[in-house]
Chains A and B, each alone.
Chain A
Amino acid sequence: MSSTWMTTRAWLLMLPLLVVMVAVIGWPLVDTVGLSFTDAKLVGTGGNYVGFDNYTNMLSSSNFSRTLVTTTLFAVISVAAEMVIGVLAALLLNQQFHGRAILRALMILPWALPTVVNATLWRLIYNPEYGALNAALTQLNLIDAYRSWLGEPGTALVALIVADCWKNFPLVALIALAALQAVPRDITAASLVDGAGPFNRFRFVILPYLAGPLMVALVLRTIEAFKVFDIIWVMTRGGPANSTRTLSILVYQEAFSFQRAGSGASLALIVTLLVTVLAVAYAALVRKTAGSAA
């Protein structure tokens, strides 16, 4: 069999998949790029070519810079907290104790729940009239009166971050727990004999085996957090006073609420570019970490 035939056959077999991919990803992407250079509305005709106006307007708007800050805050704080809580949970669940298997299974639950269910649950907890958080804090005498956690610009983002952490720390814990199984027992034993305490044991024995897998979790979670839409949409719709508006929410508002398809498309492409840069930078970092533990 000639190699040209092999190549032809490979392409033929891949063709259906390629057609589908071009149809559902490639074409919309090209269309979006085209759209981003027009002043098209969501409904009606194609609009006129406006060059880079959408981009320059968007990048220079205060809406964009404020949203970028909110998104970065949300992503950095929630991912950092998820990493810390996830690793601590994994370290605890790696100890020998009765009921460990049940606890391990229970821990996955928040992550397994659909985001909408999770978000609704937290809205109930934060409810200003009958929410569990208000009840608990009042009973503990930590607050005098019930507050609207999601209704005040000062607390809404924090409340969202807590909900997002609760949902996503199990993923980090799961990855860390798997990595902990790979820490050789002998090295742990050697560190005990050598007199390393819990902190040094974590640093010199556990961390080398945890770093690579945690890096992967970090990449996954940061990119997801940067694109976050669903949990915020269900809980606050970006409010109050746009205090929880992230980039994806802004894209949605621009394109659908304000019906500015061209401007929305340019913003969507800006977000795509930002996430791509993040992904590439992280991929390089992962490759570097993977090389360090032998």
Chain B
Amino acid sequence: MSALEIRNVRKNYGSVETLKGIDIALQSGEFLVLLGSSGCGKSTLLNIIAGLAEATSGDVLIGGRSILGVHPKNRDIAMVFQSYALYPNLTVRRNIGFGLEMRGVAADEREKAVAEAARLLQIEALLDRKPSQLSGGQRQRVAIGRALVRKPQVFLFDEPLSNLDAKLRLEMRTELKRLHQMLQTTVVYVTHDQIEAMTLASRIAVMRDGRIEQLGTPEEIYNEPATLYVAGFVGAPSMNMLQATVQGTTLAIDGAKASLPLPARFRDAVQDGARVVAGIRPEALRVAADAAAPSVPVEIEVVELTGPELVTTARIGTQRLTACLPPASRVAKGQAASFAFSEDALRLFDPDTGKAF
């Protein structure tokens, strides 16, 4: 039995279809990240799970029980919002205990639960303050504490870290991961930050225009993107996409006098003469030392040192390639070079459907 199951959920606002049939089943303890660009329907889906919005059709089950029409407070979920959503005139202590207070939990039991959550989140010293006397990071801890004390079956997070500065976001990300590893509660987490998605998720659902483009583990999403959209969305800098044409057992790169060997695993899938998009991650490229691996001749255009790596943009005929090279690599602007990569790193996509071969 799944901890959370979403069955063919659709949502229309007037004539606009915001969700176009979403299917997800989560095992207990999974950390699902809904990843996608702004407006793709992530919050809408989360709100439907929480009961804050109603699905036009489809079903949502928690612990095998349909929760359609069940009031949010009775769904055994807790939610953390991007804006923290703390009650402005209650102390941190009462904010955290509010859900229990509303459920009529006795004061001493409540106090124990609040103390426990405050200890986990290291906010014991703040319990008597009002939200206006807290920093953004502290407010988000309180908001998480408010969700924790309820001990729900499913935690819902809607971009909880996006109002924090970069350093704090990193800290809180680690903190959330630690909490999840400790509590092992099922989580649905919305973000449009792909690093957050990759680091936190046990599975990622990449959403686009109200549909799930791909549902898989972070490794699958990164290594075997199912579509051009996923390939372009996950990874920074994003995957190189070279327009190419199949010529027998080679891929002729459009606009360049260069070709790549067509890996054996694709030979049955693509037809001779077909136009394809060849995807290679910038991290998979290196400067060719010998002629053993497949390689392409390029002309270096721009070299940027980010610290841990040398982000190099190079021209291959009329197209461009980006490579993340070790900082010690000997490349210079204007120089001719050759980029090599392992055959396994190459992905092929159909340019018409966007699907991977």
Q: Do A and B bind each other?
A: yes
A residues bordering B, Cβ < 8 Å?
A: 184, 186-187, 189-197, 200, 204-205, 207-209, 292-294
Interchain CB contact under 8 A, A186 and B81? yes
Given contacts A293-B89, A294-B130, contact A193 B82 (CB under 8 A): no
Within the assembled complex, what's the spacing in Å between the Cα atoms of A208 and B90? 10
User: Whose C-beta in chain A lies nearest to the C-beta of B90?
Assistant: A204
Interchain CB contact under 8 A, B131 and A195? no
Interchain CB contact under 8 A, B130 and A194? no
Interchain CB contact under 8 A, B73 and A190? no
Interface centre among A194, A200, A204, A293, by most B CB within 10 Å? A194
Interchain CB contact under 8 A, A193 and B88? no
Distance in angstroms from A166 CB to nearest chain B CB is 32
Contact of B85 among A186, A195, A196 (CB under 8 A): A186
- Let me know if B222 is at the binding interface, CB within 8 A: no
User: Whose C-beta in chain A lies nearest to the C-beta of B98?
Assistant: A194
Within the assembled complex, what's the spacing in Å between the Cα atoms of A98 and B225? 47
Instruction: Indicate the size class of the contact surface on chain B.
Output: 20 to 34
- Let me know if B99 is at the binding interface, CB within 8 A: yes
Residues of A within 8 A of B35 (CB): none
Interchain CB contact under 8 A, B52 and A294? no
Distance in angstroms from A201 CB to nearest chain B CB is 10
Within the assembled complex, what's the spacing in Å between the Cα atoms of A186 and B99? 15
Interchain CB contact under 8 A, B79 and A190? yes
Contact of A187 among B47, B51, B87, B103 (CB under 8 A): B87
Given contacts A193-B77, A194-B98, contact A204 B85 (CB under 8 A): no
Interchain CB contact under 8 A, A294 and B131? yes
Name the interface residues of B86-104: CB closer than 8 Å to any CB of A.
86-90, 98-99, 102-103
Interchain CB contact under 8 A, A193 and B79? yes
What 0/1 pattern do residues 92 to 134 of B give for CB contact below 8 A with A? 0000001100110000000000000000000000000011100
Within the assembled complex, what's the spacing in Å between the Cα atoms of A230 and B85? 47
- Let me know if B235 is at the binding interface, CB within 8 A: no
Interchain CB contact under 8 A, A184 and B83? yes
Would you mind naming 24 contact pairs between A and B with Cβ atoms under 8 Å apart?
A184-B83, A184-B85, A186-B82, A187-B87, A189-B47, A189-B72, A189-B79, A189-B81, A189-B85, A190-B85, A190-B87, A190-B146, A191-B87, A192-B51, A192-B71, A192-B73, A193-B73, A193-B99, A194-B102, A197-B102, A200-B102, A204-B89, A204-B90, A205-B87
User: Whose C-beta in chain A lies nearest to the C-beta of B47?
Assistant: A189
Within the assembled complex, what's the spacing in Å between the Cα atoms of A190 and B84? 9
Interchain CB contact under 8 A, A192 and B52? yes
Interchain CB contact under 8 A, A208 and B89? yes
Within the assembled complex, what's the spacing in Å between the Cα atoms of A288 and B24? 51
Distance in angstroms from A203 CB to nearest chain B CB is 9
Interchain CB contact under 8 A, A292 and B79? no
User: Whose C-beta in chain A lies nearest to the C-beta of B134?
Assistant: A294
Within the assembled complex, what's the spacing in Å between the Cα atoms of A291 and B181? 41
Residues of B within 8 A of A190 (CB): 79, 81, 85, 87, 146
User: Whose C-beta in chain A lies nearest to the C-beta of B147?
Assistant: A193
Within the assembled complex, what's the spacing in Å between the Cα atoms of A205 and B131? 13
- Let me know if B205 is at the binding interface, CB within 8 A: no
Name the interface residues of B130-146: CB closer than 8 Å to any CB of A.
130-132, 146
Within the assembled complex, what's the spacing in Å between the Cα atoms of A197 and B103? 10
Given A186-B85, A189-B81, A190-B79, output 7 extra A-B contacts at Cβ < 8 Å: A184-B83, A186-B82, A191-B98, A193-B52, A193-B73, A204-B98, A208-B88
Residues of B within 8 A of A208 (CB): 87-89
- Let me know if B78 is at the binding interface, CB within 8 A: yes
Interchain CB contact under 8 A, A194 and B99? yes
Residues of B within 8 A of A200 (CB): 102
- Let me know if B311 is at the binding interface, CB within 8 A: no
Within the assembled complex, what's the spacing in Å between the Cα atoms of A227 and B188? 59
Interchain CB contact under 8 A, A194 and B88? no
Residues of A within 8 A of B86 (CB): 187
Within the assembled complex, what's the spacing in Å between the Cα atoms of A195 and B76? 11
What 0/1 pattern do residues 203 to 232 of B give for CB contact below 8 A with A? 000000000000000000000000000000
Distance in angstroms from B96 CB to nearest chain A CB is 11
Residues of B within 8 A of A205 (CB): 87
- Let me know if B50 is at the binding interface, CB within 8 A: yes
Distance in angstroms from A70 CB to nearest chain B CB is 37
Within the assembled complex, what's the spacing in Å between the Cα atoms of A207 and B87? 11
Interchain CB contact under 8 A, A195 and B52? no
User: Whose C-beta in chain B lies nearest to the C-beta of A204?
Assistant: B87
Residues of B within 8 A of A196 (CB): 98, 102
Residues of B within 8 A of A197 (CB): 102
Distance in angstroms from A270 CB to nearest chain B CB is 39
User: Whose C-beta in chain A lies nearest to the C-beta of B80?
Assistant: A190
Within the assembled complex, what's the spacing in Å between the Cα atoms of A193 and B147? 10
Residues of A within 8 A of B103 (CB): 195
Interchain CB contact under 8 A, B99 and A293? no
Interchain CB contact under 8 A, A193 and B78? yes
User: Whose C-beta in chain B lies nearest to the C-beta of A201?
Assistant: B102
Within the assembled complex, what's the spacing in Å between the Cα atoms of A151 and B89? 49
Distance in angstroms from A231 CB to nearest chain B CB is 37
Within the assembled complex, what's the spacing in Å between the Cα atoms of A194 and B74? 9
User: Whose C-beta in chain B lies nearest to the C-beta of A293?
Assistant: B88
Contact of B50 among A184, A193, A207 (CB under 8 A): A193
Contact of A195 among B47, B84, B99, B132 (CB under 8 A): B99
Distance in angstroms from A200 CB to nearest chain B CB is 6
Within the assembled complex, what's the spacing in Å between the Cα atoms of A195 and B50? 12
Residues of A within 8 A of B83 (CB): 184, 186
Residues of B within 8 A of A195 (CB): 73, 99, 102-103
